[in-house]
């Protein structure tokens, strides 16, 4: 079938600010000791991580809507190589920078080469981006690196999932097909979490790549459904635009409110967030409402464009900021973000002004460094798989 990439709409820039807001939820959790107790950091971070997986899927399904997908080992290998080339330079830098707050420098100085075996083994896991497949020390070095490790597995499944979305598009009722797949993947995520509710939730329902397939796959279907809606309704009347504005406001309000709502423990990492994230992504993916128009403002899009760099950098900034405090030396070896939170307790000194300064100063440093690294490039400009 002929490709129609020339007809592809512009990037859905209104999603970029949502990406930045989700990063802020993660940042608040990792700087939790400097916040003021009115926001449940861990719950918000769980919502944000689920959002990131679904957003990655949506952007993929949206971008490759018109592409003919060849699911061959060579095509998958080429796609993986392009993604790794884009992610790996900053990823490997942040991982190596995290060595400065690890035990490695001290062990080298003490000539304790036997003691180096364990931290160097963890370093190799991180370098190969396979740490999320191990049930221990998955937060070692740059603690958020586990997300990249898990996303690499999603990229391995991307072309088959895109081929499935393409097949649904050719059916008689593609919209119904996409909705059915989204419901199926959501049900699979619910069953997965329910059946594993007695296991270690942090690993089996949060970090392990298999646990995140359903969100990513549902996101790809959401992206394809969004493009289908835009193709069938290229012109939006003022009345429909008003209704879409109300839908955006309702979806955004639900997304903000969900971290404060009651939940069952086994639903916290994934299940609790599927519906609010799906509604938010679909309404803002269409992007015809007034809130989407506001989110397309250049400063807000610029913040969203820095989200990937901010995500990888913020833990390093927080760790270095708290480096001089004794609490950084405690805690489980290799778990830098948890150590940083312990150090943050000492740094806060129960001062609201000090907490606000620490929180905003580290965020400012993160944004400045992210901007320097990002330059003028747009990270959402994806090549078509071949």
Overall average pLDDT of the 39-68 stretch: 90
- Split at pLDDT 50, 70, 90, the class of 57 is very high
Q: Looking up tokens 């393409």, which residue turns up?
A: 166
What string of H, E and C letters represents the secondary structure of 127-157?
Answer: HCCCHHHCCCCCCECCCCHHHHHHHHHHHHH
Rounded CA-CA distance 7/87 in Å is 28
pLDDT at 55 (0 to 100): 97
- Report the percent of the chain where pLDDT is more than 70: 85
Instruction: Report the pLDDT averaged over residues 353-381.
Output: 81
Q: Would you state the pLDDT for residue 213?
A: 97
Q: Confidence band (pLDDT; 50, 70, 90) for 348?
A: low
Q: Is the pLDDT of residue 36 over 90?
A: no
Q: Is pLDDT at 347 greater than 80 in this prediction?
A: no
- Measured distance CA(170)–CA(214) in Å, rounded: 22
Is the pLDDT score of 326 beyond 50?
A: no
Sequence-distant (6+) residues with CB within 8 A of 224 are 61, 62, 65, 165, 168, 169, 174, 178
Mean pLDDT of 87-103: 92
Please, is 384 exposed, middle or buried when counting C-beta atoms within 10 Å of its C-beta (0-12, 13-18, 19+)?
A: middle
Predicted pLDDT at 68: 84
DSSP string for 231-247? HH--S--HHHHHHHHHH
pLDDT of residue 342: 53
Question: What confidence score (pLDDT) does residue 339 get?
Answer: 55
Q: What is the rounded average pLDDT of the residues 87-114?
A: 92
| Confidence tier at 51 by pLDDT (50, 70, 90) | very high
Please tell me the predicted confidence (pLDDT) of residue 362. 93
Question: Is the pLDDT assigned to residue 48 strictly greater than 60?
Answer: yes
Separation of alpha carbons 149 and 168, rounded Å: 29
- 171-221 per-position pLDDT tens digit: 999 999 999 999 999 999 999 999 998 888 999 999 999 999 999 999 999
Per the model's pLDDT, the better-predicted residue between 335 and 228 turns out to be: 228
If one counts every other C-beta atom within 10 angstroms of the C-beta of residue 228, the result is 18
**Residue 382: pLDDT over 60:** no
Number of residues that this document lists for the chain: 386
Eight-state DSSP code of residue 249: H
Please check the confidence at residue 301 and state whether its pLDDT lies above 60: yes
Whether 32 shows a pLDDT value over 90: the answer reads no
Q: 8 near 332, Cβ under 8 Å?
A: no
């Amino acid at each position: 079938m002929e490709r129609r990439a020339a007809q592809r709409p512009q990037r859905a820039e209104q999603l970029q600010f949502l990406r930045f807001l989700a990063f802020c939820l993660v940042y608040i959790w990792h700087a939790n000791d400097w916040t003021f107790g009115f926001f449940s950091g861990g719950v918000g971070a769980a919502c944000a991580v689920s959002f990131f997986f679904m957003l990655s899927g949506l952007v993929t399904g949206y971008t490759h809507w018109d592409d003919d997908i060849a699911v061959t080992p060579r095509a998958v290998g080429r796609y993986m190589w392009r993604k790794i080339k884009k992610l790996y330079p900053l990823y490997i830098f942040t991982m190596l920078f995290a060595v400065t707050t690890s035990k490695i420098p001290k062990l080298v100085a003490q000539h304790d080469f036997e003691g180096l075996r364990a931290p160097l083994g963890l370093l190799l896991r991180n370098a190969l981006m396979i740490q999320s497949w191990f049930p221990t020390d998955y937060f070692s070095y740059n603690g958020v690196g586990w997300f990249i490790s898990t996303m690499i597995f999603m990229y391995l499944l991307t072309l088959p999932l895109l081929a499935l979305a393409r097949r649904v598009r050719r059916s008689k009722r593609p919209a119904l097909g996409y909705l059915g797949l989204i419901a199926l993947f959501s049900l699979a995520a619910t069953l997965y979490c329910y059946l594993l509710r007695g296991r270690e939730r942090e690993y089996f329902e949060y970090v392990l790549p298999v646990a995140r397939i359903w969100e990513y796959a549902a996101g790809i279907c959401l992206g394809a459904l969004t493009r289908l809606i835009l193709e069938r309704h290229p012109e939006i009347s003022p009345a429909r635009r008003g209704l879409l504005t109300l839908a955006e406001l309702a979806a955004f309000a639900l997304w903000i409110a969900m971290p404060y709502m009651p939940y069952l423990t086994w639903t916290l990492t994934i299940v609790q967030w599927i519906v609010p994230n799906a509604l938010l992504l679909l309404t803002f993916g269409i992007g015809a409402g007034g809130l989407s128009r506001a989110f397309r403002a250049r400063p807000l899009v610029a913040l969203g464009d820095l989200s990937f760099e901010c995500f990888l950098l913020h833990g390093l900034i927080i760790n270095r900021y708290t480096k001089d405090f004794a609490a950084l030396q405690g805690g489980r070896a290799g778990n830098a973000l948890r150590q940083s939170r312990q150090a943050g307790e000492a740094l806060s000194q129960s001062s609201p002004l000090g907490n606000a300064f620490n929180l905003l100063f580290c965020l400012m440093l993160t944004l400045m460094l992210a901007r320097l690294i990002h330059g003028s490039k747009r990270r959402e400009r994806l090549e078509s798989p071949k």
